[in-house]
Chains A and B, each alone.
Chain A
Amino acid sequence: QKEVEQDPGPLSVPEGAIVSLNCTYSNSAFQYFMWYRQYSRKGPELLMYTYSSGNKEDGRFTAQVDKSSKYISLFIRDSQPSDSATYLCALSTGTASKLTFGTGTRLQVTL
């Protein structure tokens, strides 16, 4: 079993839709949770960063962490074609520890 599971997609939604992206994990030691967006042939860009359980909102993006279920989510409201990219979740056990990435979900927002 992989440490972090993420549906690779592709996920296709119409413009304006609410998008839900998810990851599950098996290691209860993960304390830090991040979401990255990666456009084709570019490096990942940090979108959201959360420590421990709870919700965090930033503009159209909301990150949720449920440590009891080992489940994290990223919601994108009012999705735009420019949101089309691959979204990667990344988890870490500590500030000095490596990031463990999900496989990434490819999102396509259509007009």
Chain B
Amino acid sequence: GAVVSQHPSWVICKSGTSVKIECRSLDFQATTMFWYRQFPKQSLMLMATSNEGSKATYEQGVEKDKFLINHASLTLSTLTVTSAHPEDSSFYICSARGRSRGTEAFFGQGTRLTVV
């Protein structure tokens, strides 16, 4: 399958600081990137969808000014959690879909964010 690399795997930050998470598609062009959040023992919650050349579309209840998404190129998307608070601590996962890959979505390894 296709490879999606997410970095970092984990990060601990102080409350009030911002954290950037990168998601790269290594062997295909990602026309669409998805960002999810997952709480322990729960399923994936879609936060936002980012299509090539467009601004991200956020799901209801997700603050776009807090979770900044940049789809900088066809192989890179970033999620920045601004002014992080302990309640933002979670597992964040990106996924990418490309024209050459049909409707299959490939996931990154996830980033465990802990805000202290």
Residues of A within 8 A of B (CB): 8, 32, 34, 36, 41-46, 49, 51, 88, 90, 92, 94-96, 98-99, 101-104, 106
Contact = CB atoms under 8 A, between A and B. Distances in A.
6 contacts: A32-B103, A43-B4, A46-B104, A92-B103, A99-B46, A99-B95
Contacts of B19: none
A35 B93 CA distance: 17
B44 A46 contact: no
A88 B104 contact: no
A103 B1 contact: no
Given A41-B112, A44-B93, A103-B43, A95 B107 contact: no
A48 B51 CA distance: 24
B109 interface: yes
A102 B43 contact: yes
B43 to A, nearest CB: 4
Interface string B66-108: 0000000000000000000000000101010000001111111
B107 to A, nearest CB: 4
